[in-house]
Structure 1
């Protein structure tokens, strides 16, 4: 018999967070997340908690934890997409139909009590955080702030009546293999007369981050499932970026002195965390800082990028994106970063996908988002 347990006490949270390390114990691609970061993610320290209400459960067979899940409602999502929306996330479980049914039934019941009639996911906790269920690319480790998964997860969701909502793609690109063909190079050279690319002004960091927030929210507003970043969320993100990201890995594009686009490159923290087993004590923190600040990572991820809507469909819009990628590539080569992941890209974003594939990027991971009527 499988029983469900609502997660409310510290001991239950510990069980919730410990499950993945057991499930992926023999998976060479698994990167154990930092325990302290996961604990803060499901706490008031997560700035998204200002607008997200959630509940977590674990599934047990006897005394053994065999699955976990969260359900959540996001007031900002409901303002934009309907008051009957809800989400699930952070799902991990053994390969057992009954376990998945028990977990999802608990999430469904809770969401119905919150007025939800449509559920999408997985999100941890919303679309601006870890999103999607890995369905292609199990043979490589996840990049920073991206999910890993088990190959059977998708079929288990589908058994419970879930269907495809949309897919998210991750692109892989070698820094020394990026190629701007003669036509693109000519267009980029011409655009430089109008478009100015600069690095972030660290002396005015807080205001700069809010500028990036305004660009992102405008750029992504029409995308599937969009939820805007709040000032609080981007402020907290800025504190992390200031600590982890060198200034030449954040670039802003301006036209006539007005910021209109940006790109952020993030050293692949997962690469630096390999072997730490999610622990910063007693010596994990020293190893992590040394790997990030002294040794450096050989891979990176571009988690944030945006071009404001008024430029997206103009002749210069795609060229702005190329100029930003070119600027970031130079910073990567300078720091001996050999390859980067561009993620995630909506499968429906044919414009960006075409740009990336034209300059040498290859889609190598696919993440599925699923939906169901309750």
Structure 2
């Protein structure tokens, strides 16, 4: 029997709870899974997140009798357009058992909702844009995941492909030991040295404890540095705080570096890494109230995640990325 589809009303507390709870069933046999913060998912659904102040969302659940077997949300970020100028639809918050019919029914419902609002194309999985959860894991399921990177059952790519999704881009992550990092530094030393000798740029470390100053400075830089990045759209200040404040709270003072023009003082790029508190966040089981509690122990993880390097277009071809990366690694 084909599953039935239910459009989740924000006032329908029973289906909201089912929507938020489903991943615990899907990942029950995956000890490496890190549960997303449940209150953040719920805030998106009921319209209380900063993103929902300007964006549209409709959640759906697939039911097999009285049991939820799948979920997704259709999303429209009015600041994110397809190449033809129409709104770029998104399908996010997707979770499902390995059931082709359930997944197809969910995607069809999402596509219908998006089409009715002017979208001709849809990307997924994407929860609003590249600054929020997006992408599928397609390889490396046997690896220990690191914090804030996607993890999903191996059958998800097949469910997406069955409903017409095609791979749009590929990102790669590398779990490297010190010798491999040293070889990387050797490989980029030429570009790094050229920037260093000219003396046109310096790297300033920012202390995440001064959240207001850090976020204000980053907000000015992000649009220029991330412009053209797949799925990126400008953020409101409230959304920047909502998305990055928690991460800043667990970063060390040297974790965030800004590339500064030594002559004008203008910010030209940024890079950041963070301690890989994957085990600590996994232990929270989606409850944000415990975020950062582990810091009191003073124990630091052995792995760091070098997550982002973003540069203004005018400095991307002069070796600035190599210079910024080398400075961040050596000072970490």
User: Which interval holds the TM-score relative to the shorter structure?
Assistant: 0.7 to 0.9
- Pick one of 284, 289, 301 that aligns with 2:305: 301
- Pick one of 85, 108, 129 that aligns with 1:126: 129
Which residue of 2 is the match for residue 261 of structure 1? 269
- Pick one of 35, 38, 47 that aligns with 1:35: 38
- Pick one of 211, 233, 236 that aligns with 1:227: 233
The answer to whether 1:88 aligns with 2:94 is: no
Secondary structure in structure 2 of the residue aligned to 1:91: strand
Q: Using the alignment, how far apart are the partners of 1:299 and 1:182 within structure 2?
A: 21
Bigger mean CA deviation after superposition, 113-122 or 25-34: 25-34
- Pick one of 251, 254, 261 that aligns with 1:248: 254
Query: Kindly tell me: are residues 3 and 246 of structure 1, through their superposed partners in 2, closer, same or farther at Cα, counting changes over 3 Å?
Result: same
The answer to whether 1:137 aligns with 2:140 is: yes
Which residue of 2 is the match for residue 159 of structure 1? 162
Which residue of 1 is the match for residue 63 of structure 2? 60
Bigger mean CA deviation after superposition, 23-32 or 59-68: 23-32
Query: Kindly tell me: are residues 41 and 265 of structure 1, through their superposed partners in 2, closer, same or farther at Cα, counting changes over 3 Å?
Result: farther
Q: CA deviation at 1:43?
A: 4.5
Q: CA deviation at 1:18?
A: 1.1
Q: What is the aligned length?
A: 324
Greater relative CO (CA pairs within 8 A, separation 6+):
1
Q: Using the alignment, how far apart are the partners of 1:279 and 1:189 within structure 2?
A: 46
* C-alpha distance after superposition, 1:27-77 (max 9, x if no partner): 132122332343334454422223320011111101111100110111000
Secondary structure in structure 1 of the residue aligned to 2:107: helix
Q: Using the alignment, how far apart are the partners of 1:269 and 1:259 within structure 2?
A: 29
Q: CA deviation at 1:253?
A: 1.2
Determine if contact 2:192/2:326 at 8 Å carries over to the other structure. Answer: no
Which residue of 2 is the match for residue 325 of structure 1? 325
TM-score of the superposition, structure 2-length normalised? Answer: 0.86
Query: Kindly tell me: are residues 96 and 276 of structure 1, through their superposed partners in 2, closer, same or farther at Cα, counting changes over 3 Å?
Result: same
Determine if contact 2:75/2:127 at 8 Å carries over to the other structure. Answer: no
Q: Using the alignment, how far apart are the partners of 1:244 and 1:151 within structure 2?
A: 30
The two structures, once aligned, show a CA RMSD in angstroms of: 2.7
Q: CA deviation at 1:184?
A: 3.9
Q: Using the alignment, how far apart are the partners of 1:10 and 1:305 within structure 2?
A: 41
TM-score of the superposition, structure 1-length normalised? Answer: 0.78
Instruction: Give 1:100-249 correspondences, 5 Å limit.
Output: 100-175=103-178, 177-179=180-182, 184-185=188-189, 187-192=191-196, 193-200=199-206, 205-249=211-255
